[in-house]
Amino acid sequence: MAPALAFDIITIFPTFFEGSLAAGVLGKALERGLLEARVHDLRAYADDAYRSVDDYPYGGGVGMVMKAEPFFRAVDDVEAKFGRGWRVFLTPQGRPLVQSICRALAAREHIVLLCGRYKGVDERVRQALADEEISIGDFVTSGGEVAALALVEATARLIPGVLGDEDSAASDSFATGLLDHPHYTRPREFRGMAVPEVLLSGDHAEIEKWRREQALKRTREVRPEMLEDKG
């Protein structure tokens, strides 16, 4: 059976992904063939003996800029082997990664992730290669690897069969437009903090009502703009 979704990740740090892709939900999804993730070393597509992937910026300034050629060669090679993918460039200038974007990505069959580094990436990569630009927030990391891994996990969770409980993703934060409600497990009381009585009542209607109220309360307190977006 072919995987529901295949990722090709292009990066100068392929070892960054090794442990994370083998662990938890992602590791199990890969083992079961529900997901495929191939990691490609961008330096393998450099054209000099030093495997250089960056150079000084035109116009001067601090920092180094990643060259266009290795990215183009890498994408050409990957797509020659595995077919045209939906190309996502991880960059602070991209659209914020939200649940609706993850759902759209989960419906695709093949995604190519382009991870930048250094001061930036030659603009021609964005112009000619990227189908979509995505950011994981209004902050800067040293490269796109952290963002790529976040995108892979958030998207993989939405593929049928990846989670043990098929309803689990449907009840996650953001899935319903709200943050998640509080959760409790044993013991019933811990250091003076008790589980709310309603959760022990066995009254499923009251429990669902309480959970909905708590989700609204938490969203209103922490992320009020989510309620504004709902009108």
pLDDT of residue 139: 93
Please determine whether the domains at 5-156 and 176-229 fall in the same fold group of CATH. Answer: no
| pLDDT per position as a tens digit, 30-74 | 999 999 999 999 999 999 999 999 999 999 999 999 999 999 999
| Long-range contacts of the stretch 220-229 (C-beta < 8 A, 24+) | 222/179, 223/179, 226/177, 226/178, 226/179, 229/177
CB 18 within 8 A of CB 151: no
pLDDT value for 167: 52
> Length of the chain, please?
231
Domain boundaries, the chain: 5-156, 176-229
Pairwise CA distance, residues 2 & 34, whole Å: 8
pLDDT attached to residue 174: 75
pLDDT at 74 (0 to 100): 98
Instruction: Report how far residue 206's alpha carbon sits from residue 196's, in angstroms, rounded to the nearest whole number.
Output: 12
Question: Side chain identity at 192, as an amino acid letter?
Answer: G
Share of the chain above pLDDT 90, in %: 91
Kindly state the tokens that stand for 108. 């695709």
Determine if residue 225 is left, alpha or beta; phi over 0 gives left, psi from -120 to 50 gives alpha, anything else beta. Answer: alpha
Give pTM, 2 decimals: 0.89
**Which residues lie closer than 8 Å to 76 by C-beta, 6 or more apart?**
none
Q: What is the pLDDT of residues 98-125, one digit of tens each?
A: 999 999 999 999 999 999 999 999 999 9
Buried b / exposed e across 8-42, counting CB within 10 Å, b at 16+? bbbbbbbebbeeebeeeebebbbeeebbbbebbbb
**Contact, 195 vs 188, CB < 8 A?**
yes
Residue 143 pLDDT exceeds 80: yes
The strand pairing partners of 113, in sequence order, are 9, 88
As its CATH architecture, domain 5-156 has 3-Layer(aba) Sandwich (3.40)
Q: What is the CA radius of gyration of the chain?
A: 21
In CATH terms, is domain 176-229 a member of 1.10.1270.20? yes
**14-28, 94-108, 175-189, 206-220: the lowest-pLDDT one:** 175-189
DSSP 67-115: -HHHHHHHHHHHHHHH---EEEEEEEEEEEP-HHHHHHHHT-SEEEEEE
Q: Are strands 110-115 and 86-96 parallel, antiparallel or unpaired?
A: parallel
**What pLDDT score was predicted for residue 229?**
64
CB 17 within 8 A of CB 9: yes
